[in-house]
Amino acid sequence: MKKVFSLSVLAAILFSCTRPTVQSVVAKAPIDSLIANWGNSWNNHDSAAVSNLFTADALLIDDNFIGTTTNEIATQWISPNINMVKHFKSKTIQEWTGTDRAGYTGKYQFDAVVNDSVVAKASGVYTVNWIKTDKGDWKITTANIHAIPVKK
C-alpha cells in the first residue's frame, strides 16, 4: 500500500511539474510592404531605391536580360527603364513567408511612358524571393519577370 501511495504521489508531482507549452510568436516577412516598396520605387522613378532592394549577388531574369549582380541590374535593367514606368500595379497570385525568407508571385501592369505619352500598356507576371539580412533588412535574392504579349 505504501508503494502504491508513494508511486501515486510521485506521479502527481511529475505531472504537476510539467510546464505548459508556450506558443512562440514567429515574425514573418512583411510581404505587403515589400511589394509596396517595389511599386513605389518604380512609380517614383527612384533608381537608387530600386537598386537598394537587391542583394549584392542578386539574380534577375526577364525576357531580354539576365543580371547576376546589383551593378548589372542597376546599369543594364533599372536605369534604362526607370523613367518609362508609370502607374505600376501588382496583383497577388501566390505568396509565402517565413522568419528569414519570403516569396511572391503576382501579375503586374504599368503604363510605359515616353515624352509624357503612354506608348504601351505593359503587363506580365513576376516572382520575387527575399532574404532577411543580418541587419534585419529584406533584400531581393532572385526575381523572374516575364511580359505577357499584347494580343492584336
Quick one: pLDDT at residue 28? Answer: 74
Asked if residue 16 belongs to a domain, the reply is no
Asked if residue 134 belongs to a domain, the reply is yes
Quick one: pLDDT at residue 150? Answer: 74
What is the residue whose three cell numbers read 534585419?
Answer: 136
Q: Does 142 score more than 60 pLDDT?
A: yes
Asked if residue 11 belongs to a domain, the reply is no
Asked if residue 10 belongs to a domain, the reply is no
Strand partners, 62: 65
The three-class DSSP label of residue 140 is: strand
Quick one: pLDDT at residue 149? Answer: 85
| pLDDT tens column, 88-108 | 999 999 999 999 999 999 999
Percent of the chain residues topping a pLDDT of 70: 82
Band (82; pLDDT cuts 50, 70, 90): very high
Q: How many domains does the chain have?
A: 1
| CATH number of the CATH domain containing 127 | 3.10.450.50
Quick one: pLDDT at residue 29? Answer: 74
Asked if residue 22 belongs to a domain, the reply is no
Main-chain phi, psi angles of 82, to 5 degrees: -60, -40
Asked if residue 38 belongs to a domain, the reply is yes
Asked if residue 61 belongs to a domain, the reply is yes
How many contiguous H segments (helices) and E segments (strands) does the chain have? 5, 6
Contact 128, 38 (CB under 8 A): yes
**Which of 57, 53, 70 has its CA nearest to residue 137?**
53
Quick one: pLDDT at residue 75? Answer: 97
- Mean pLDDT over each residue of the chain, to the nearest integer: 87
Q: What is the amino acid identity at position 33?
A: S
Indicate if the alpha-carbon torsion angle 109, 114, 115, 118 is positive or negative: negative
* Containing structural domain, residue 113: 28-147
| pLDDT tens column, 28-58 | 778 999 999 999 999 999 999 999 999 999 9
Q: What is the amino acid identity at position 39?
A: G
Quick one: pLDDT at residue 101? Answer: 95
Q: Which grid coordinates are listed for 10?
A: 510521485
Q: Does 1 score more than 90 pLDDT?
A: no
Q: Does 86 score more than 70 pLDDT?
A: yes
Asked if residue 2 belongs to a domain, the reply is no
